Amino acid sequence: MNQIVYADFEKVDIRVGTVRDARPLEGVRKPALRLEIDFGPEIGVKKSSAQITVHYTPEELIGRQVAAVVNFPPRQIGKFMSEVLTLGFPDAEGAVVLIAPSKPVPNGGKLF
Protein backbone atom coordinates (compact mmCIF):
# COMPACT_ATOMS: atom_id res chain seq x y z
CA MET A 1 0.00 0.00 0.00
CA ASN A 2 1.32 3.44 -0.94
CA GLN A 3 1.67 5.81 1.98
CA ILE A 4 0.85 9.50 1.75
CA VAL A 5 1.61 12.41 4.01
CA TYR A 6 -1.06 14.43 5.83
CA ALA A 7 -0.63 17.30 3.36
CA ASP A 8 -1.86 14.95 0.59
CA PHE A 9 -5.00 14.14 2.60
CA GLU A 10 -5.66 17.85 3.17
CA LYS A 11 -5.88 18.38 -0.61
CA VAL A 12 -9.05 16.25 -0.80
CA ASP A 13 -11.99 18.36 0.38
CA ILE A 14 -14.62 15.97 1.76
CA ARG A 15 -17.76 17.68 3.03
CA VAL A 16 -21.14 16.65 4.40
CA GLY A 17 -24.35 17.75 2.75
CA THR A 18 -28.07 17.01 2.78
CA VAL A 19 -29.78 15.54 -0.28
CA ARG A 20 -32.46 18.01 -1.44
CA ASP A 21 -33.57 16.14 -4.56
CA ALA A 22 -32.99 12.69 -6.02
CA ARG A 23 -34.27 11.15 -9.24
CA PRO A 24 -33.22 8.54 -11.80
CA LEU A 25 -30.51 9.71 -14.18
CA GLU A 26 -31.66 9.23 -17.76
CA GLY A 27 -29.43 8.27 -20.70
CA VAL A 28 -26.65 6.44 -18.83
CA ARG A 29 -25.31 2.90 -19.34
CA LYS A 30 -25.45 1.89 -15.67
CA PRO A 31 -28.43 2.75 -13.45
CA ALA A 32 -27.70 5.87 -11.43
CA LEU A 33 -29.42 8.60 -9.49
CA ARG A 34 -29.11 12.33 -10.00
CA LEU A 35 -28.68 14.04 -6.62
CA GLU A 36 -28.87 17.68 -5.59
CA ILE A 37 -26.93 18.08 -2.34
CA ASP A 38 -26.93 21.16 -0.09
CA PHE A 39 -23.44 21.77 1.33
CA GLY A 40 -24.37 24.93 3.22
CA PRO A 41 -23.77 28.61 2.46
CA GLU A 42 -20.03 28.37 1.72
CA ILE A 43 -20.33 25.74 -1.06
CA GLY A 44 -24.04 25.81 -1.93
CA VAL A 45 -26.07 23.16 -3.74
CA LYS A 46 -24.13 20.81 -6.01
CA LYS A 47 -25.19 18.02 -8.37
CA SER A 48 -23.90 14.46 -8.29
CA SER A 49 -24.42 11.29 -10.31
CA ALA A 50 -24.31 8.23 -8.06
CA GLN A 51 -24.63 4.53 -8.94
CA ILE A 52 -26.53 3.72 -5.75
CA THR A 53 -29.77 2.24 -7.09
CA VAL A 54 -29.22 -1.22 -5.55
CA HIS A 55 -29.66 -0.01 -1.96
CA TYR A 56 -31.42 3.36 -2.29
CA THR A 57 -34.56 4.83 -3.82
CA PRO A 58 -34.83 8.53 -4.61
CA GLU A 59 -37.55 9.01 -1.99
CA GLU A 60 -35.49 7.63 0.90
CA LEU A 61 -32.47 9.80 0.04
CA ILE A 62 -34.20 13.17 0.35
CA GLY A 63 -33.21 14.69 3.69
CA ARG A 64 -30.36 12.23 4.22
CA GLN A 65 -26.85 13.49 4.88
CA VAL A 66 -24.03 12.17 2.67
CA ALA A 67 -20.29 12.73 2.28
CA ALA A 68 -18.77 13.93 -0.99
CA VAL A 69 -15.52 15.19 -2.48
CA VAL A 70 -16.28 18.78 -3.48
CA ASN A 71 -12.99 19.84 -5.08
CA PHE A 72 -12.70 17.46 -8.05
CA PRO A 73 -13.36 19.06 -11.44
CA PRO A 74 -16.90 18.50 -12.78
CA ARG A 75 -17.38 15.31 -14.79
CA GLN A 76 -19.75 14.72 -17.69
CA ILE A 77 -21.96 11.63 -17.13
CA GLY A 78 -24.08 11.21 -20.26
CA LYS A 79 -25.90 14.55 -20.63
CA PHE A 80 -25.48 15.33 -16.91
CA MET A 81 -22.64 17.34 -15.35
CA SER A 82 -21.67 15.83 -11.99
CA GLU A 83 -20.07 18.46 -9.74
CA VAL A 84 -19.15 16.35 -6.69
CA LEU A 85 -18.22 12.73 -5.99
CA THR A 86 -20.64 11.17 -3.50
CA LEU A 87 -18.76 8.64 -1.35
CA GLY A 88 -19.54 5.08 -0.32
CA PHE A 89 -18.10 1.63 0.27
CA PRO A 90 -18.82 -1.54 -1.74
CA ASP A 91 -20.95 -4.23 -0.13
CA ALA A 92 -20.08 -7.94 -0.58
CA GLU A 93 -21.45 -7.85 -4.16
CA GLY A 94 -19.86 -4.51 -5.06
CA ALA A 95 -22.98 -2.30 -4.74
CA VAL A 96 -22.42 1.10 -3.15
CA VAL A 97 -23.33 1.76 0.50
CA LEU A 98 -23.20 5.49 1.25
CA ILE A 99 -21.02 7.09 3.90
CA ALA A 100 -22.93 9.31 6.32
CA PRO A 101 -22.40 10.79 9.77
CA SER A 102 -23.95 8.79 12.61
CA LYS A 103 -25.57 11.96 14.03
CA PRO A 104 -26.82 15.12 12.27
CA VAL A 105 -24.11 17.71 11.62
CA PRO A 106 -24.18 21.14 9.93
CA ASN A 107 -24.07 21.04 6.12
CA GLY A 108 -20.65 21.90 4.75
CA GLY A 109 -18.67 20.37 7.61
CA LYS A 110 -15.25 19.18 6.46
CA LEU A 111 -13.97 15.68 7.15
CA PHE A 112 -10.79 15.62 9.24
For 65-106, the DSSP string reads EEEEE-SSPPEEETTEEE-SEE-EEE-TTS-EEE---SS---
Average pLDDT, the chain: 96
User: Hey, where are the domains in the chain?
Assistant: 6-98
Q: Is it the case that residue 27 has pLDDT exceeding 90? A: no
**Mean pLDDT confidence for 11-25:** 97
CA distance 31 to 53: 7
Q: What percent of the chain has pLDDT over 90?
A: 92
Q: Is the pLDDT of residue 28 over 90?
A: no
CATH of segment(s) 6-98: 2.40.50.140
The pLDDT of residue 1 = 87
How confident is residue 29, by pLDDT bands cut at 50, 70 and 90?
Answer: confident
Residue-wise pLDDT tens digits, 60-71: 999 999 999 999
pLDDT for residue 46: 98
